[in-house]
């Protein structure tokens, strides 16, 4: 029974990581296409929280520090990802595809993408702890639908 539970937990974690990977990759590509999209997306999410989850003033106070910390982490990681992307582009231009330089640059970018995925998951689950069960379910459903359908409404 414990092995089955462990296996299911691992599979669930892998599935969640795959979904978040897709979401992060999609958002990163959109960011280059639409410079203002990130701010619009964040505003849309914040508006959605208030309109659909009926966040109480007490919850807003509890969630605010999590939002600030996540925003700082996300911004730091995105800047590092941008730099790593430029390094990878330069390595691709200047070295063979199978060179150590290309491999190292690709690994660095991949590592940062994973770091952003983890920060995003940590943020959502930290938020969920301060929501009612119904609010938490709505948040997870919205996140799921946004990833699957590629929109934030």
CB-CB contact of 109 with 81 (8 Å): yes
Is residue 23 one of the residues assigned to a domain?
yes
Is residue 99 one of the residues assigned to a domain?
yes
Average pLDDT over residues 63-88: 94
Angle at 147 between CA 71 and CA 38, to 5 degrees: 35
In angstroms, how far is CA 77 from the centroid of its own chain? 11
Q: What is the CATH number of the domain that holds 126?
A: 1.20.120.1490
* Lowest-confidence segment of 87-96, 113-122, 138-147 by average pLDDT: 138-147
Model's pTM, two decimal places? 0.62
Is residue 55 one of the residues assigned to a domain?
no
**Better-predicted residue by pLDDT, 29 or 112:** 112
Is residue 53 one of the residues assigned to a domain?
no
Is residue 38 one of the residues assigned to a domain?
no
pLDDT of residue 1: 66
Average pLDDT, the chain: 79
Count how many domains the chain has: 1
What does DSSP assign to residue 150?
S
Range of the domain at 122: 2-33+61-149
């Amino acid at each position: 029974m414990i092995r089955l539970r462990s296996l299911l937990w691992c599979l669930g974690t892998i599935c969640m990581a795959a979904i978040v990977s897709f979401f992060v990759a999609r958002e990163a590509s959109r960011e280059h296409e639409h410079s203002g999209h990130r701010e619009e997306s964040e505003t849309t999410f914040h508006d959605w929280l208030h309109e659909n989850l009926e966040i109480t003033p007490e919850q807003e106070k509890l969630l605010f520090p999590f939002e600030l910390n996540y925003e700082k982490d996300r911004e730091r990681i995105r800047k590092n990802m941008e730099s790593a992307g430029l390094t990878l582009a330069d390595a691709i231009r200047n070295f063979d595809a199978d060179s150590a330089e290309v491999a190292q640059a690709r690994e660095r970018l991949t590592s940062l993408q994973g770091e952003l995925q983890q920060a995003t998951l940590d943020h959502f689950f930290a938020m969920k702890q301060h929501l009612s069960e119904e609010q938490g379910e709505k948040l997870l459903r919205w996140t799921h639908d946004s990833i699957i359908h590629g929109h934030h409404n």
